[in-house]
Chains A and B, each alone.
Chain A
Amino acid sequence: MPVLAYCIAEAQSNISIPNAGVRGAPIARVLAGPLQGFVSEFDRSVVKRLSIREAAMEFHRTIQELFRQVAVLPFRFPTVLATDQEILVHMSEHASEYASTLSRLRNSVQMEIRIGKNARDGEPAESGAKYLQQKQHDCARLKASAADFRQASEPWLKQWRQREVSHGLHCYLLIPREAVEQFLIGIKKIVLPDNQSARVSGPWPATEFFEVKE
């Protein structure tokens, strides 16, 4: 029977397994040395076109339920394997890599800050040169705001990554699990320039802070 893979956690973790995953399918645990993986039977006939979005949300809910308890490495949705033996083989092949990553991230979570420039801001540029100057200026201001967030996060910050995107700047923070509340209080005080907005989300599994060799 095909299985849908959810995530991997450390085997020694005492985890309460969610009752059901996508489409109410029971969650099963696959043990592979220092790791445990979570899968559910996948019946493709019940996943029809219009229910994919809902399936993605159920997938996320299942992972969050596990992630509330321990650090997890989620699989990208949808990772469907022919049998649970295949995930066992995969976990065994990557055991040391996954185990060291999970050990490193054991008490950490990822928070995200998306800083953007408000669409309603100023007149259109008169020329290409002015447009580029304006873009450079906007970019500098976004980076300045990111620096403010970083400074405000310093008491809890383990790692920081930021990435420029078409509409602004995405910042990823690795912080201790127990510091989330204090972190949110700390950064809530930041005041942004009039033409910017920022959205903070999390905690998420620390997907920006691990790289797995294929």
Chain B
Amino acid sequence: MGTNTVEIVGTDFSDDVSLLDVIDHVLNAGVVIRGSLVISLAGVDLIYLGLDVVLSSVETALRHSRLRSLEPETSLSSPLKGS
């Protein structure tokens, strides 16, 4: 067995990893209303276009996260380098 300990992060945007969790949650979890209720609103597609920005941010953060995991003794809870 090793010495790796468990890292605890909150839900209050105190760090970038938490931000990643937050984005994951608001986009992927929760009640979904399907059908004409949401789609009928003209112009809402603007929001879905904008989501590309969010998803790109998540992908970038994930890439940083993976790169950072190559660096030993680096806490995931510290701010991402270069961001």
Chain A residues within 8 Å of B, Cβ to Cβ: 2, 5, 7-8, 44, 47-53, 56-57, 59-61, 63-64, 73-82, 86, 90, 112-113, 118-120, 184, 187-188, 190-205, 207-208, 212, 214
Nearest residue in A to B6 (C-beta to C-beta)?
A198
Are the CB atoms of A59 and B26 closer together than 8 Å?
Answer: yes
CB contact under 8 A between A203 and B11, given known A53-B57, A80-B47? yes
Are the CB atoms of B12 and A64 closer together than 8 Å?
Answer: yes
In the complex, 23 of the A-B residue pairs with CB atoms within 8 angstroms, ordered by the A residue number, are A44-B44, A50-B53, A56-B22, A60-B25, A64-B11, A74-B31, A76-B28, A76-B32, A77-B27, A79-B32, A80-B41, A90-B37, A112-B21, A120-B70, A120-B72, A194-B1, A194-B3, A198-B4, A199-B17, A200-B7, A205-B29, A205-B30, A212-B32
Q: What is the bound-complex CA distance between A161 and B30, given in angstroms?
A: 16
Q: What is the bound-complex CA distance between A51 and B5, given in angstroms?
A: 36
Are the CB atoms of A80 and B6 closer together than 8 Å?
Answer: no
Residues of B within 8 A of A81 (CB): 33, 37-38, 41
B82 at the interface (CB under 8 A from A): no
Chain B residues within 8 Å of A, Cβ to Cβ: 1-13, 17-19, 21-23, 25-35, 37-38, 40-41, 43-44, 46-47, 49-51, 53-54, 57, 66, 69-70, 72, 76
Counting from the closest, the 5 A-B pairs by CB-CB distance are A194-B2, A52-B50, A207-B29, A77-B26, A76-B30
Interface of A is mostly: mixed
Are the CB atoms of B31 and A49 closer together than 8 Å?
Answer: no
Are the CB atoms of A74 and B72 closer together than 8 Å?
Answer: no
Residues of A within 8 A of B46 (CB): 44, 47
Residues of A within 8 A of B9 (CB): 199-201
Residues of A within 8 A of B37 (CB): 81-82, 86, 90
Can you name 14 extra interface pairs (CB under 8 A) apart from A44-B46, A61-B13, A74-B31? A47-B46, A49-B50, A53-B23, A60-B26, A73-B31, A74-B30, A75-B31, A77-B26, A79-B33, A184-B8, A187-B6, A188-B8, A191-B5, A212-B32
Interface of B is mostly: mixed
Q: What is the bound-complex CA distance between A199 and B66, given in angstroms?
A: 14
Are the CB atoms of A79 and B38 closer together than 8 Å?
Answer: yes
CB distance from B40 to the nearest CB of A (A): 6
Q: What is the bound-complex CA distance between A73 and B51, given in angstroms?
A: 22
CB distance from A86 to the nearest CB of B (A): 5
Residues of B within 8 A of A199 (CB): 6-9, 17, 76
Are the CB atoms of B8 and A200 closer together than 8 Å?
Answer: yes
